[in-house]
Amino acid sequence: MHCLDRAHDAGFKAKAFVRALEVARSLPPEELAQRADAHTLTDLEGIGDSSAKVICQALAGGDIAYLTDLEATTQVPITVAGAIYRDALLGDLHLHSRWSDGGATIEAMARTAVAVGHQYMVLTDHSPRLTIAHGLSAERLVQQLADVATLNLQMAPFRILTGIEVDILEDGTLDHGDEVLSQLDVVVASVHSKLRMGEKEMTMRMVRAVANPNVDILGHCTGRLIGKRDPSEFDADYVFAACAQFHTAVEINCRPERLDPPRPLLQMAIEYGCYFAINSDAHATGQLEWQPHGCNRAAEVGVPLDRVLNT
């Protein structure tokens, strides 16, 4: 699963493996072995040819060719220059858990963050406006903070910082008030709705959010989805000048379908003196390995390393 996520291939194939795993676990071990010998695993609903092959290889105790191959072929590519940025990153400031629309528990995300070499991560599940993403109300956020506190005791010195990805509403106000946002370590603010509003309105909307003293990072600023959705229209001069003025970092979003902001905008943000954050925006453990996408781009455009918050 982790490797398929990393390769952004977590759709049908990954679901099939999870289903096969459930079926295999529900069987007595003797029956599983018998069926493997008799080549009747695929008679079971939920186990196909690839899953059957993996189960047989696992039972045989040797290397699992499929998994070894997957491990090798799903590595996220990084350039020599990009590696300098990646090596400097100490954490990730934007990621999701099952509390909103992520696929993994907070603990699984944290353990993977440790495994990829981070000292900390900021948990930024969605805010309530994003109902399709099961956004967190103030009440659920309080419960989450208690869970995070417990996990932090178990996982020290690794640290889970508290946060949220708050929605920028149409008028530029946010989806949680000061009393909630001021309690959190890091607030990422992003536009998720009405992405096609007029340029002038969108500029005012974004500047107002960027100027909010609770906001630390402007998430995936254009909202584009490569090949699927065009960037929103806004006056980037105003928005990046505001980011520099109010010390709100511009996110370099590492999701392969976003890679936001596009290069010319990133260049412009550098010129305005903005700070940056290279964030995975991971919704699954494997996606925590996506930072190289943003590191490659930061290196290519020449983002000053000392302006990247998570170094």
Give contact residues for Zn ion (rule: CB under 5 A): 165, 190, 281
Comparing CB distances to Zn ion, the nearer of 165 and 289 is 165
Residues whose CB is less than 8 angstroms from the CB of residue 145 and which lie 6 or more positions away in sequence, other chains included = 162, 183
**Residue 251 and residue 253: Cα distance in Å, rounded?**
6
Cβ atoms within 10 Å, residue 211: 14
Q: How far is CA 182 from the centre of its chain?
A: 23
Cβ atoms within 10 Å, residue 143: 12
Q: How far is the CB of 192 from Zn ion (least distance, A)?
A: 6
Record the tokens describing residue 235, joined without a space: 């006056």
Q: How are beta strands 120-123 and 159-167 bridged, if at all? A: parallel
**Residue 240 and residue 37: Cα distance in Å, rounded?**
63
CA distances from 164 to 49, 99, 183, 271 (A): 42, 11, 11, 28
Comparing CB distances to Zn ion, the nearer of 47 and 169 is 169
Q: How far is the CB of 102 from Zn ion (least distance, A)?
A: 9
Q: How far is the CB of 165 from Zn ion (least distance, A)?
A: 5
Comparing CB distances to Zn ion, the nearer of 112 and 190 is 190
CB 97 within 8 A of CB 125: yes
Comparing CB distances to Zn ion, the nearer of 164 and 236 is 164
Q: How far is the CB of 94 from Zn ion (least distance, A)?
A: 6
Comparing CB distances to Zn ion, the nearer of 82 and 223 is 223
Element (H, E) at 226: none
Element (H, E) at 253: strand 249-253
Comparing CB distances to Zn ion, the nearer of 5 and 281 is 281
310: phi then psi, degrees, rounded to nearest 5: -90, 25
205: phi then psi, degrees, rounded to nearest 5: -60, -50
Comparing CB distances to Zn ion, the nearer of 165 and 216 is 165
Q: Give me the amino acid identity at 16.
A: A
CB 217 within 8 A of CB 248: yes
Q: How far is the CB of 164 from Zn ion (least distance, A)?
A: 10
